[in-house]
Each structure stands twice: as C-alpha cells, then as structure tokens.
Structure 1
Amino acid sequence: MGLKHEMIAQDLAEKIKHQQFLPGDFLPSEKQLCELYGTSRETTRKALNHLAELGLIQKLKGKGSLVLDIQKYTFPISGITSFQELNDSLGLHAQTKVLQQKTGAAPKYFGQTPIEAKKAIFIERLRIIDQQPAVLDQDYLLDPPITVLPKDVAQHSLYAYLENELGLEIDYATKEITVEQVEPAIAEKLALKANEPAVVVRSLSYLADTTPFQLTTSYHRPDKFKFIDFARRKKLNH
C-alpha cells in the first residue's frame, strides 16, 4: 500500500482519465479534498503537487487546480519514472511479463558512452496493455552498484527495490529516441507487422553521485504510444 498522498493522486488521476473531471474543469478545493479523503491539508497538497508534476493539472493561485488537456495514454520521455510507477499513477492496468533475467557481461559501450562496469544483470520484460504487447524493455543493471536482484523484483518496480531496499539515490538520465527496423525476434515479441518499425528509447540512468547504474532499451509499438514531453520551467539562479 502506498503513501496516503500517492493513493489520493492515483484516485484523482483515475477520475481525470475516466472524464469525471474534464479538461478545463477545476478539481474540488483543497478544503473539499481534505473532507472527501479524510486527510490533512499538507497531504492533499502533496497529492496535487504529484498530479501537477505528471502534467495532469495546473495549480492557479487563488483559483484552484485546473485539469489540463493532455492525453495520458502516453509514455513520458523526460522524467525518470518506472513503468510500474506510471502504471500505478495513471491506472493503465498493464501487465508485465518477465521473459528472462540473467547475470553476465556488461556492454562495453551504450551508444557513444563507455561503460566501466564489467558485470550486469540483464532483464527482458514485455509490457502488455489491453491484452496486446505494447513495450519490450531490455535492461542492464550494472554491477557495481547492483550486485544482486531477487527474482520477483523484475515483475514489479525495480526502482522501489533499488531505492527502498538498497538505499540508492536515483537522480537523472539521458535518453535517445529513434525509429528503427528491429530484429525479427523483437518484432515477433511486439507482434509488429512485416517491415513495421518500432520506436526505440535508449536511456542511461545515473545515481546522485553520477554513477551510471542502468542501461535501458525500450522498444515501443508505434501504434500503442505517443510520446509527449511535459516540462515545467525551472529558473536558474544567476
């Protein structure tokens, strides 16, 4: 069971997804949400901040929380969010099928980036939405810092285990997006048509101390996901 503010955010996200709140509508006031969910003003604000970070609402001073017109059956590119976290937040009701997990050699390069780790845990997972394959994820978890991974973790959220059990501080990632013809084995797993390309997202994720810990190649069916980048401006101090 997640934290109270996460459960409230998930419930409101479900209501937005099912159009109980339409784009242009305002959510109930903070006071009304406190009464509705039986919680404190601080918890309610945390839930609303989470929805704002996801791009579902815009908080307008003196007016409330405005529902934004963003299609949420999309996969965010700029944020660092695990598929399971996205599934939970947006209520995608997706399934994860672990195809393989094994320990072996780490890649020497990821794109143009040299990789210093010699060993890695390789995980291949198929994401299924509405009984159809949507995304194939291939991950290398680098050793160090990740030396072991229990078998059942890959079925759920890797990040929950890395942060809560191993105490790692996940901080940032670089990502590259291309459209490519993929190997027949990958095309078969995604049920792609003959000569149909996939959208490929390659991510190199780092800890707060700048240590790379995860190499991910995600193959997306082009008809299953749109990629929308939602970004909030953060001003730099001069």
Structure 2
Amino acid sequence: MRKYRVVADQLLDEIAQGKYKDEDRLPTEDKLMAEHNVSRNTLRSAIDVLVDKSILYRVQGSGIYIRKPVYPDTITINSIRGFKEEFKNKETHSEVIELEQLPADKEISQKLQCEIGTPVYFVHRMRYIENEPFSIEYSYFNKTIIPYLGREIANNSIYSYIENDLNLSIGFADKYISVEKLSKMDSSHLQLKEADPSLVIEETVYLTNGTLFNHSRVIHNYKHAKFFALAKNW
C-alpha cells in the first residue's frame, strides 16, 4: 500500500478513536509530519484522501477541520471501504459459506469484463455485526488479478488483503441499488421471513488503474442496515 494511504488510514483511526475529540480540526502540518514521519507531499496526499471521503474539510486560511458524523453506524453508499473498515468500532465477523475457483461463464464474464473460461474465485459469505446477521455477500474475483484467495482471507477482510498483501490500490466502484424480496435461502441466513424486503447493492469494483477485479451482490438485513450518502454541490 502506498505510504500516503497508510497515513490516511492512521489518521482515520486516530479520528475514530477520539484522539481529536476535544478539537474540531487537525494539528498543524508540521506536527503531523513529525508524528507520522512523512514528507509534506505525502501528508497532503493522505489528507486529500480523507477530504475526498468528506471526513475532513479545508477552510482557507484556517486549517483542516474534522467533519462530525451525523449518522453513526451507517454504510456510506458513496464509499468503497470494506465491511470491517466501515464498522471498525463494532464487533464484526464473517462466515464463509462457500468459496471455490471456477471458470467464468457468459454471465460472470460479462460482469467481470473477462473472457469466458477465465478462472475466478466465487465467495459466498455472511457478515455479522455484534453477532447479528447483517448481510449476505455473493462475490466474484478475477484470479488473473487476485491470484490467491483462501478461506482464511475471506473470513477476515478481502480488501485489506488486496491492498496490504498484494499491494494493489482499490480505486472506485459502480453501484446499483435495488429493493427485492428475500428468497427462502437468503431469508434463512438472515433470520428473516421469505419474501421480507431487503436492500441489495450490486457493485463492480476497479483498481486505481481502471482494472476491474471484483463484482459483488450484497443483500442487507432490513432490520439492521442503515445507509448514508453525502451530496455535494459541484
């Protein structure tokens, strides 16, 4: 992972842990550079990441301010942070139901924009928050880009593995959101009733260089899932 992204994660952890809770802005650049042992350019790139995510905002001539969360414990729709990262202040865990390597059929090849027969990993897993069933995930990963994916990884954070172990930079995603009725199998996993409502997010995820590596379909438990989107005046 690039140094500025490491620093961005460190700053995000510090904010989440309340290091600056008695203040409404970050310390000076010089102080942060000394604390994180980085150059000014690296620090500014890290801050840019958090500004883009609307965690921080700049006031010209005044400093970098911390945006106070208005809706805690929500999924930020316009973000591609992983599940564990999104709920780092909660007890979370994953349970892999199925993980296998298979050749991409016509439908999968279209979703991953790869050739039919390309080896892909299929991951079917449950996500829990405070031991309550939160979501079901059906994901496909292009094995050409993600050469190994085992249960020990899928039971934790796949995105963290991709960035920290494979040194790939996750860039952006296309998301399609719909409301659907639960199937018998999915309702059983979520401890709900068949035909109960669910919010479904299908997303196609790319690296920073534009390479498509992941397509997922995530079905959320309507009793626990709350979503937030930040709107900006461009």
Structure-2 separation of matches of 1:196 and 1:111: 31
Structure-1 separation of matches of 2:36 and 2:143: 42
Match among 8, 12, 16 for residue 13 of structure 1: 16
Structure-2 separation of matches of 1:55 and 1:73: 16
Matched, 1:177 2:180: no
Q: Deviations over 1:67-106 (max 9, x none)?
A: 3353131112223322233234xx2332222222111233
| Aligned-partner residue type, residue 103 of structure 2 | A
Runs of 5+ unmatched residues, structure 2: none
Identity of aligned residues (%): 23
Structure 1 partner of 2:60: 61
Moved over 3 A (4+): 2-5, 31-35, 37-54, 110-115, 163-170, 207-211, 231-234
Structure 1 partner of 2:207: 207
8 Å contact from structure 2 (residues 126, 133) kept in 1: yes
SS of match in other structure, 2:10: helix
8 Å contact from structure 2 (residues 200, 219) kept in 1: yes
Structure 1 partner of 2:24: 26
Q: Deviations over 1:114-156 (max 9, x none)?
A: 6535232111221111221111111111233334323311122
Equivalent residues, number: 225
Q: Following TM superposition, by how much is the alpha carbon of 1:5 offset from its aligned partner in structure 2, in angstroms?
A: 5.0
In structure 2, the CA distance between the partners of 1:116 and 1:101, relative to structure 1 (3 Å rule), is same
8 Å contact from structure 2 (residues 183, 195) kept in 1: no
CA RMSD for the aligned pairs?
A: 3.5
Give the alignment's TM-score, normalised by structure 1.
0.75
Q: Deviations over 1:136-179 (max 9, x none)?
A: 11111123333432331112222233334334443332211001
Q: Deviations over 1:204-223 (max 9, x none)?
A: 12334544321101111123
Structure-2 separation of matches of 1:56 and 1:108: 40
